[in-house]
């Protein structure tokens, strides 16, 4: 859906999205990275399993919820990337390790 | 068109009574207060519960038992009429016990209740940790959980859908549901009741006051003294989760939507409906002690409701002697008692006579002086 | 984490929050600032610290680059700054509860300045929840923070200065715009021109805006005017946009990304949960906290500064931040009343001047009423997936209030807590029940202000005395 205008160069780092390594740049949000992936969507809703993607990018819509390093329902637009971060798209209702 | 009966209060109690009246062909008007009123009905946990009820008041245990016995058919009928799924499950319920002392006390209380009942097979049992774990395969219990009491007849339902269904059913049976129609005064004279509403005066031969915390003032107009006071209860609700808790527990249940409800506090703080961080923290700690995995769950909403509390916590059902035709009904277990309200109580109101088994619920038990 | 105590807690490190912090520190107050982002700057100067050092700062414009200087001043003013910190409750006293890095925290403060800014006005339409539909503000944030633009030529629908600004910035960055669906109603300019004489005091701003509009015109972008209906379609993602104009003309375009914008409204979530009085602004169809000239709400020692006090832009926000800080300083005895008033005098003058353009802008970009009357199949509540049609049907039975409607339909019960649906619900009830929107109001908003985890809550210091 979106593309970056420049190459991160030395500021590049790697995060994992559903197990796949993806290049990101220090300082950008997880949501921004997800919007550059071919899928575009970042979760399916717990109510109807419909696909959603980030909508507001500022924390007031809660569409960008993903699992970050095993913590679920994290607002990815407010989460800066870190090298080695593991992101998982949330599908439907969350499962706890209960 | 003149109504046969006006029910004042559109909460779970009033709406269930109105439904019972309407389906027995009474012309009913159900009057609900203002949108911002204290609405215990919006704060209900959703348990349809028997275990632990009525310690030292056998009549209340019996009342609860009766209501639960007919809850299934009550729910089926409501669902069929309104097509609203009440999500009623009656597979039993738990009360978790943290620590051996709590476990032992629980067992003794339930035994006492059983003895007070004086008959019938026990419909509860104490489950040690091992038995509890077998019952909850998807749950890893916290180390402090000693066990739980299991009540065979307990269950849960969606309290808001119940309320919506009751309102809908009243309308379907020809009753009128009127929101934002607060009764300011009741004038009882010549065998009828004149209700002062914001924009009109409504006259009816019979009325039922089921206005929760607002009942005290209204009941006085018809010669009844009903002592009620608020007891705050705060509840937490999480985001939706995949099913893992197959049975409701008092204080912890997973709804059909997948959300987990956690409750509830018992606070004396007047009419303050603020939610507090203290409650959020205490309820979270207790929950995480019981099911540690819930520490990852997100709290989406917290609310506070004011329980309609009487001096001994048990319901008040009364018929006015000074002004026959006026009834009062209030309790803080409107969901569990909904079936009873819709059936036995509604019938009694139509017959203009409360049955003897409801005598223990008359407010004279508080020895309060009658209104002059 | 043990509680920290401060004189002044500022929620939000945007223009207003930063200006308030700097002024408060100047007056000798201890200051603690929290923000849910990782850097100061709010939305208008989002990621300014990261971006200022790069090449792309230049093409984002001078107004953005001003933020770098502000952020530097803020960083060195001696305020405690906690980024990536979510506020979930404020209790009287004041005790503010936060979470950060998985742990809850508590801040005691004598006064609070809420500088949480604004959000885009929710403008629901069928298909608005499809991946590929986003706000113009979101796209601008992506441009600033990630130097990203839509891959394919983008469609932009809406009305308001942000739409023009983003379109200009996008083109300057080498992005491509497929076309503009301008929803500004016909004859709006004529109405707005009434306010032009006053607006002429802000000639520079006017010229800037005109400049954007002309630049876009020169770019020769396909523009459809007076669009009054939108629909996004596609299987599981945006594929097409359908539109209809007020003259009946309709059309359909292929689209990968659709950006929408129908103005901004103050964030009133926190003031509402604190019980502050709000008033209804008919022109902008939104609630605004009731404030005195210093920005104090109806709750003593709670202030609102910035766009949260009423949309005014960055310059106005900074002035309001400083005014609130001055008042807090005099309230807490760090400044005499006379000194506070003297320091405030030039700020009040500057404020009046800075606000001169608002009536013109507010009239020009007043929200069109279709925004509040989405088609029945629209998901009015995104989180709980409740359609406008469902809300209408329920609102018609027995005339429930907005809290009752929420209880019956679940609309408003999701994680956004009404940020995307409360206004829509109020308008739907108002329309069905023939009541003014201001009287219908918004449903009761409560903490938690953000969905914190039970573990974070449970971690709050064990030593805390019970309430």
Mind listing the pLDDT tens digit for each residue in C260-308? 999 999 999 999 999 999 999 998 999 999 999 999 999 999 999 999 9
Residue A98 counted as domain residue: no
Sequence-separated (6 or more) residues with CB below 8 Å from residue C217:
none
Residues A56-74, mean pLDDT to the nearest whole number = 96
User: Cβ–Cβ contacts within 10 Å for residue C82, how many?
Assistant: 17
Tell me, yes or no, if B285 comes closer than 8 A to chain C by beta carbon.
yes
Tell me, yes or no, if A78 comes closer than 8 A to chain B by beta carbon.
no
**Average pLDDT score over chain B:** 94
- Residue C102: the pLDDT is 87
Look up the pTM and report it.
Answer: 0.92
- Residue A98: the pLDDT is 44
Contact A5 C134 (CB under 8 A): no
Q: What are phi and psi of C321, to 5 degrees?
A: -60, -45
From the candidates B198, B286, B301, which should be mutated to test the interface with C, based on the most C CB atoms within 10 A? Answer: B301
Contact B177 C446 (CB under 8 A): no
Give the full edge-to-edge strand order of the sheet including C133-135. C133-135, C258-262, C154-159, C177-182, C223-224
Instruction: State the sign of the Cα–Cα–Cα–Cα dihedral C73, C76, C81, C84.
Output: positive
Beta partners for residue C281, in sequence order: C286
Contact A94 B138 (CB under 8 A): no
- B331: tokens are 């309790």
CA within 13 Å, CB half, B233: 21
**Domains in chain A, number:** 1
Asked if C295 and C340 touch (Cβ cutoff 8 Å), the reply is: no
Q: What is the pLDDT of residues C133-158, one digit of tens each?
A: 999 999 999 999 999 999 999 999 99
Distance of alpha carbon C11 from alpha carbon C8, whole angstroms: 10
User: Cβ–Cβ contacts within 10 Å for residue B121, how many?
Assistant: 6
Smallest CA-to-CA distance from C223 within C166, C182, C265 is with: C182
Asked if C365 and C61 touch (Cβ cutoff 8 Å), the reply is: no
Residue A44 counted as domain residue: yes
Tell me, yes or no, if B262 comes closer than 8 A to chain A by beta carbon.
no
Distance of alpha carbon B67 from alpha carbon B370, whole angstroms: 30
- Residue B372: the pLDDT is 47
Please report which helix (H) or strand (E) contains residue A68, including its range. Answer: strand A65-68
Distance of alpha carbon B267 from alpha carbon B85, whole angstroms: 32
pLDDT of B369 strictly over 80: no
- C67: tokens are 């933020």
Name which residue leads in pLDDT, B345 or C60.
Answer: B345
ipTM for this model: 0.97
Name which residue leads in pLDDT, B39 or B48.
Answer: B48
Residues of C in contact with A62 (CB under 8 A): 383, 414-416, 451
Residues of A in contact with C84 (CB under 8 A): 78, 80
DSSP collapsed to 3 states, chain B = CCCCEEEECCCHHHHHHHHHHHCCCCCEEEECCCCCCCCHHHHCCCEECCCCCCCCCHHHHHHHHHHHHCHHHHHHHHHHHHCCCCCCECCCEEEEEECHHHHHHHHHHHHHHHHHHCCCCCCEEEEEHHHHHHHCCCCCCCCCEEEEEEECCCEECCHHHHHHHHHHHHHHCCCEEECCCCCCEEEEECCEEEEECCCCEEEECEEEECCHHHHHHHHHHCCCCCCCEEEEEEEEEEEEECCCCCCCECCEEECCCCEEEEECCCECCCCCCCCCHHHHHHHHHHHHHHCHHHHHCEEEEEEEEEEEECCCCCCEEEECCCCCCEEEEECCCCCCCHHHHHHHHHHHHHCCCCCHHHHHHCHHHHCCCCCC
What is the DSSP code string of C278-340?
EEEETTTTEEEE---TT-B-SSTTEEE-GGGGS---HHHHHHHHHHHHHHHHHHTTSS-HHHH
Using alpha carbons, list the distances in angstroms from residue B49 to B76, B94, B251.
18, 10, 12
Asked if A89 and A18 touch (Cβ cutoff 8 Å), the reply is: yes
Rounded percentage of chain B residues whose pLDDT exceeds 70: 98
Q: What residue of A is the nearest CA neighbor of B139?
A: A98
pLDDT of C466 strictly over 80: no
- Residue B293: the pLDDT is 96
| CATH code, A21 | 3.10.20.30
Residues A66-72, mean pLDDT to the nearest whole number = 94
pLDDT of C1 strictly over 70: no
Residue of B140, B241, B294 lying closest to A95 (CB–CB): B241
- Residue B109: the pLDDT is 95
pLDDT of B37 strictly over 90: no
pLDDT of C36 strictly over 80: yes
Domain that residue A15 falls in: 9-89
pLDDT of C217 strictly over 70: yes
Smallest CA-to-CA distance from C360 within C182, C205, C137 is with: C205
Beta partners for residue B182, in sequence order: none
How many helical (H) and strand (E) elements, i.e. helices and strands, does chain A have?
1, 8
Beta partners for residue C251, in sequence order: C243
What domains does chain C contain, in order, with CATH numbers? 4-119+265-335 (3.50.50.60), 122-262 (3.50.50.60), 373-440 (1.10.10.1100)
Residue A1 counted as domain residue: no
Q: What is the pLDDT of residues B222-280, one digit of tens each?
A: 999 999 999 999 999 999 999 999 999 999 999 999 999 999 999 999 999 989 999 99
Beta partners for residue B319, in sequence order: B327
From the candidates C131, C150, C238, which should be mutated to test the interface with A, based on the most A CB atoms within 10 A? Answer: C131
Quote the DSSP letter at residue C20. H
Residues B99-107, mean pLDDT to the nearest whole number = 97
Tell me, yes or no, if B239 comes closer than 8 A to chain A by beta carbon.
yes
- Residue B38: the pLDDT is 80
Sequence-separated (6 or more) residues with CB below 8 Å from residue C408:
B160, B163, B164, C394, C400
Residues of B in contact with A71 (CB under 8 A): 296
Q: What are phi and psi of C291, to 5 degrees?
A: -130, 150
Tell me, yes or no, if B278 comes closer than 8 A to chain C by beta carbon.
yes
Confidence of residue C196 (pLDDT cuts 50, 70, 90): confident
**Average pLDDT score over chain C:** 92
Confidence of residue C84 (pLDDT cuts 50, 70, 90): very high
Quote the DSSP letter at residue A46. T
Rounded percentage of chain C residues whose pLDDT exceeds 90: 77
Residue of B42, B163, B299 lying closest to C457 (CB–CB): B299
- B145: tokens are 């959980």
Distance of alpha carbon C311 from alpha carbon C364, whole angstroms: 14
Distance of alpha carbon C249 from alpha carbon C130, whole angstroms: 25
Please report which helix (H) or strand (E) contains residue C51, including its range. Answer: helix C48-52
**Chain C contact residues (CB < 8 Å to B):** 89, 91, 95, 97, 104, 106, 397-404, 407-408, 410, 413-415, 417, 444, 446-448, 451-455, 457-458, 460, 464, 466-467
- Residue B41: the pLDDT is 82
pLDDT of C83 strictly over 90: yes
Strands B229-240 and B259-263 turn out to be: antiparallel
């Amino acid at each position: 859906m979106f593309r970056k205008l420049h190459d991160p160069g030395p500021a590049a780092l790697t995060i994992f999205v559903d197990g796949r390594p993806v290049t990101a740049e220090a300082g950008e949000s997880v949501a921004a990275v997800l919007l550059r992936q071919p899928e575009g969507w970042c979760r399916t809703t717990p109510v109807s399993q419909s696909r959603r993607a980030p909508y507001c990018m500022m924390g007031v819509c809660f569409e960008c919820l993903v699992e970050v390093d095993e913590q679920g329902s994290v607002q990815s637009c407010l989460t800066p990337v870190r090298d080695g971060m593991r992101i998982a798209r949330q599908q439907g209702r969350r499962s706890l390790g209960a | 068109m003149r109504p046969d009966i006006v029910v004042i209060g559109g909460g779970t109690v009033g709406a269930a009574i109105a439904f019972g009246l309407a389906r027995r062909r009474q012309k009913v008007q159900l009057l609900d207060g203002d949108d911002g009123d204290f609405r215990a009905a919006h704060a209900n946990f959703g348990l349809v519960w028997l275990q632990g009820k009525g310690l030292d008041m056998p009549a209340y245990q019996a009342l609860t038992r009766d209501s639960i016995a007919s809850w299934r058919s009550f729910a089926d009928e409501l669902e069929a009429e309104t097509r609203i799924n009440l999500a009623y499950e009656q597979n039993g319920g738990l009360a978790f016990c943290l620590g051996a002392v709590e476990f032992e006390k629980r067992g003794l209380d339930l035994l006492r209740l059983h003895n007070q009942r004086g008959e019938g097979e026990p419909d509860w049992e104490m489950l040690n940790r091992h038995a509890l774990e077998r019952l909850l395969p998807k749950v890893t219990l916290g180390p402090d959980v000693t066990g739980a009491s299991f009540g065979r007849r307990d269950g849960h339902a969606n309290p808001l859908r119940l309320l919506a269904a009751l309102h809908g059913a009243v309308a379907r049976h020809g009753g009128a549901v009127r929101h934002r129609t607060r009764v300011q005064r009741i004038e009882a004279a010549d065998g009828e009741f004149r209700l002062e509403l914001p924009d009109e005066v409504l006259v009816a031969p019979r009325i039922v006051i089921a206005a929760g915390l607002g009942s005290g003032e209204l009941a006085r107009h018809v010669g009844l003294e009903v002592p009620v006071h608020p007891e705050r209860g705060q509840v937490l609700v999480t985001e939706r989760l995949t099913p893992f808790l197959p049975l409701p527990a008092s204080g912890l249940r997973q709804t059909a939507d997948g959300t987990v409800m956690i409750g509830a506090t018992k606070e004396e703080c007047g009419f303050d409906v603020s939610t507090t961080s203290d409650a959020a923290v205490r309820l979270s700690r207790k929950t995480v002690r019981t099911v540690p995995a819930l520490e990852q769950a997100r709290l989406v909403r917290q609310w506070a409701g004011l329980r309609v509390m009487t001096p001994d916590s048990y319901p008040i059902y009364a018929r006015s002697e000074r002004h026959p035709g006026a009834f009062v009904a209030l309790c803080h277990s409107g969901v569990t008692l909904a079936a009873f309200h819709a059936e036995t109580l509604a019938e009694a109101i139509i017959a203009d006579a409360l049955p003897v088994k409801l005598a223990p619920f008359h407010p004279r038990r508080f020895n309060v002086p009658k209104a002059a | 984490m043990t509680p920290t105590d401060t004189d002044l807690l500022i929620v939000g490190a945007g223009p207003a929050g930063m200006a308030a912090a700097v002024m408060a520190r100047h007056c000798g107050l201890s200051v603690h600032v929290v923000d849910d982002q990782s850097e100061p700057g709010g939305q208008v100067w989002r990621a300014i610290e990261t971006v200022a050092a790069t090449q792309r700062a230049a093409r984002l414009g001078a107004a953005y680059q001003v933020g770098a200087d502000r952020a530097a001043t803020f960083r060195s003013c001696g305020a405690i700054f906690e980024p990536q910190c979510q506020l979930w409750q404020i209790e009287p006293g004041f005790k503010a509860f936060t979470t950060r890095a998985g742990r809850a925290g508590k801040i005691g403060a004598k006064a609070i300045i809420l500088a949480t800014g604004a959000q885009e006005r929710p403008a629901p339409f069928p298909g608005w929840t499809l991946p590929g539909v986003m706000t113009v503000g979101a796209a601008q944030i992506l441009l600033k923070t990630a130097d990203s633009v839509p891959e394919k030529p983008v469609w932009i629908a809406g009305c308001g200065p942000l739409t023009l600004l983003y379109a200009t910035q996008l083109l300057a960055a080498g992005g491509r715009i497929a076309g503009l669906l301008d929803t500004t109603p016909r004859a709006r300019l004529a109405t707005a021109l009434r306010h032009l004489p006053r607006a002429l005091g802000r000639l520079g701003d006017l010229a800037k805006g005109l400049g954007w509009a002309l630049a876009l015109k020169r770019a020769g972008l396909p523009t459809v005017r007076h669009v009054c209906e939108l629909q996004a379609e596609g299987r599981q993602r945006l594929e097409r946009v359908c539109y209809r104009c007020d003259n009946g003309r309709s059309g359909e375009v292929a689209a990968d990304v659709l950006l929408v914008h129908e103005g901004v409204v103050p964030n009133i979530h926190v003031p509402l949960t604190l019980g502050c009085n709000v008033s209804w602004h008919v022109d902008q169809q939104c609630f605004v906290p009731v404030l005195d000239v210093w920005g104090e709400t109806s709750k003593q020692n709670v202030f609102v500064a910035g766009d949260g006090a009423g949309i005014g832009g960055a310059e106005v926000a900074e002035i309001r931040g400083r005014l609130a800080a001055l008042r807090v300083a005099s309230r807490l005895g760090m400044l005499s009343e006379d000194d506070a008033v003297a320091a405030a005098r030039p700020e009040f003058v500057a404020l009046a001047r800075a606000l001169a353009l608002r009536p013109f802008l507010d009239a020009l970009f007043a929200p069109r009423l279709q925004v509040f009357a989405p088609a029945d199949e629209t998901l009015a509540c995104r989180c709980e997936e409740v359609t406008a049609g469902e809300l209408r049907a329920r609102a018609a039975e027995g005339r429930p209030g907005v809290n009752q409607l929420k209880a019956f339909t679940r609309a408003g019960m999701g994680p956004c807590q009404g940020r995307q649906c409360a206004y829509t619900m109020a308008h739907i009830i108002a329309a069905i029940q023939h009541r003014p929107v201001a009287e219908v109001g918004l449903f009761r908003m409560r903490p938690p202000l953000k969905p914190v985890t039970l573990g974070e809550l449970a971690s709050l210091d064990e030593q805390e005395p019970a309430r």
